[in-house]
Amino acid sequence: MLISHGMSTLFPHLNPTNSCVSVLSAVLRRQQFLIRSLGGTPDQSRVAKMNALEADAINIIRSITPTLDLSRHKGQAAMSLGSMLGDSHILAATLTGKIAVVGGCREYTGAPYFAAISALKIGADLSHVFCTKDAAPVIKSYSPELIVHPVLEESYSVKDEDKEFTANKVLSEVKKWMERFDCLVIGPGLGRDPFLLDCVSEILKHARQLNVPLVIDGDGLFLVTNTLDLVSGYPLAVLTPNVNEYKRLVQKVLKCDVNDEESSAELLSLAKGIGGVTVMKKGKSDLISDGHAVCSVSIFGSPRRCGGQGDILSGRQVIYDIVAVFLCWARQYLFLVEGDQEIWEMSPTLTGCAAGSALLRKAASIAFKNKKRSTLTSDIIECLGKSLEDICPT
């Protein structure tokens, strides 16, 4: 259920003639009615809100997922939306389907692979990985579908007198590609090498200048928690902390310890405190806030917790690029649809997170049903396509 806390100025108009929009609008009207009419004990209110949200996540996925079209080519994953809305919108739909992961070092090569391959599994057209030179051959060996750029450097491979030159070279290599990307995922397998983090800081700053959406997790969260200015005030940034990462963010921003009894209000304050970024708190239920509203996703799920699962969702060891892809689709969907009869009261970042969370949970539940205790992250990834197909048949 969407819990409103003020009206965001980021929400475009919807065209009620679109069948997908009509479904979503009806869902939102039910949300608003529930918010006005909820009564009874606090626990009853919370249960009613949670139940309303569970239905919404599936409808959101159905609404923003583009259909497949034989006439489209690589890099135009969302262009089929234009066929729904008229040929005049086609040209505006050419910028979807290209995701980049910035991460991967000597010690960690699985996380960036999981993040990048997940994007392809649910429908992204191209998935890039910017990693260190040591990590590149390993990541390349995992999958020929990924475009791997061995451009990042760690301190051990750079002399002190060469660091400024090398940092500029790294940024220059990434800048060549930046304008092509629809979303940048920062953090999976990044590590905490000081020089590497300094280079990634410059990449983040450049991405902001170009208004590229950002999904940040893992060591990317370590970086931005210590340097909040990198994301503060940037509404296209999504942070996906686990329990410990969330605790550090709360202590840094709100100057207090986590209060589980006031989790929604606390998350709202945290998102506002970082200047309106979207924060997705991963847990038994995924709580999401963009500083204007709070929603929760607890549909589906699995009791199995395995390494790498959050790297898919950019959240629970598997969510990075799922959220990235849905964020792209949500922004493209809202950009294309016009009209002034209905207002979508969820921002693209909030929408992308809710959709990504629900899809990962469904994939995890299918994988666990098949593999039980032996479920691995790779099993969940293999279930992503089936999960999306079950919700949005081609």
Query: Mean pLDDT, the chain, as a whole number?
Result: 78
- pLDDT score, position 153: 96
CA gap 322, 306 in Å, rounded: 18
In order of 202, 228, 333, the CA distances from 277 in angstroms are 19, 11, 20
What's the predicted TM-score (pTM) here?
0.79
- Where does residue 13 rank: exposed (0-12), middle (13-18), buried (19+ CB within 10 A)? middle
| Domains parsed from the chain with CATH numbers | 3-391 (3.40.1190.20)
- What distance, in Å, lies between the first and last C-alpha atoms of the chain? 28
Q: Which of 217, 215, 231 is nearest to 270 (CA)?
A: 231
Closest CA to 306 of 237, 364, 246: 364
pLDDT tens-digit readout, 160-214? 999 999 999 999 999 999 999 999 999 999 999 999 999 999 999 999 999 999 9
Q: Residues 363-389: what's their mean pLDDT? A: 92
Q: What is the DSSP letter of 126?
A: E
- In angstroms, the CA 322 to CA 296 distance is 17
pLDDT at 308 over 70: no
Q: Distance of CA 235 to CAs 172, 185, 232, 275, Å?
A: 25, 15, 8, 8
Q: What is the distance, to the nearest Å, from the Cα of residue 136 to the centroid of all Cα atoms in its chain? A: 24
User: What local confidence, expressed as pLDDT, does residue 74 receive?
Assistant: 56
Residues 38-61: tens digit of each pLDDT: 333 334 444 334 333 443 788 899
